[in-house]
Amino acid sequence: MTRRFLVLAAILGLTGPAAGETAATVTAQAWNDMLKAHAGQPLILHFWGMTCGPCQLEMPEWGKLAAERPGLPLVLVEDDPMPMPAAHVADHLGKAGLAGVANWVLAPGDERIRVRIDSAWAGELPYTLLVGRDGKTERIAGAADMRLVRQWLDRETTH
């Protein structure tokens, strides 16, 4: 399974800036491009915030998952009510074990992009979308049960 992820990641690339670089703001074009690159493959979209306490508690769990599954198809999207210093974001992700994971940022106050990303999402955080190979998506509002995420990943990567 790990090998499969590595192959997928190599083929598709996890489009977007990796943590440690300045995060790119989500635009319709960039988001479309990122989703195109992952079409037909499992994808985890995790929305989080520096000022969201429950997110802070949960992030290391995503770091553990990334460590145990190299090539994890995970894209992070930071959503805070004000711009966050890139260095602080990178430092935070590094401490959570997510230094190599692509991280985007939503422009503060732009609720239209949320509607475009997921019409059911009202901005609560953390928020996770599990996009299956067939496009079927499961939504997780609030901190995720990582056991269920692992089960989903196993299903999506097993023929």
Partner 1 sequence: MSDILRSLCALLTGLGLFLSTVPVEAEEMAHHHDACVGTGLDCALVATPLFAKDGSLWLIWATADQVSLARSADLGHSFGPAVTINAKPLRLDTGGDGRPVVIEDAKGRLISAFAYFKDDQWNARALVATSTDRGQHFSPPHAISDDPASQRFPVLAADRSGDVFAAWIDKRIVAAAKTAGHAMPGASLAFAWSRDGGETFGPGRIFQEASCECCRLALAMDDRDRPTVLFRAMFPDGVRDHGVIHFLDASTPGPMRHVADDHWVLNGCPHHGPALAVSASGALHAAWFTQGSLRKGVFYARAENADAEFSAPMALSSADRHPARPAVLAMGKKVWLVWKETEETRTTVRLMDSNDDGSSWSAARIVAETTGTSDHPLLIGDGHHAYLSWLSRPEGYRLIPLETAQ
Q: Which residues bind partner 1 (CB under 8 A)?
A: 25-32, 35-36, 39-40, 49-56, 80-83, 88, 91, 105, 107-120, 122-127, 129, 131-132, 134-137, 141-143
- Specify the residue, 44 or 131, whose C-beta has the smaller distance to partner 1: 131
- Give yes or no for a contact between 73 and 5, defined as CB atoms under 8 angstroms apart: yes
Q: How far is the CB of 127 from partner 1 (least distance, A)?
A: 7
- Among left, alpha and beta (phi > 0; psi -120 to 50; other), residue 113 is alpha
Distance CA 61, CA 105 (A): 20
Strand partners, 44: 74, 130
- Give yes or no for a contact between 105 and 26, defined as CB atoms under 8 angstroms apart: yes
- Specify the residue, 3 or 136, whose C-beta has the smaller distance to partner 1: 136
- Specify the residue, 68 or 145, whose C-beta has the smaller distance to partner 1: 145
- Specify the residue, 64 or 121, whose C-beta has the smaller distance to partner 1: 121
Q: How far is the CB of 79 from partner 1 (least distance, A)?
A: 9
- Specify the residue, 65 or 78, whose C-beta has the smaller distance to partner 1: 78
Q: How far is the CB of 144 from partner 1 (least distance, A)?
A: 9
72 phi/psi in degrees, rounded to 5: -50, 125
Q: How far is the CB of 116 from partner 1 (least distance, A)?
A: 4
Q: How far is the CB of 37 from partner 1 (least distance, A)?
A: 9
Token readout for 36 is 């195109």
Integer distance in angstroms from the first to the last C-alpha of the chain?
11
Longest dimension (CA), the chain: 43
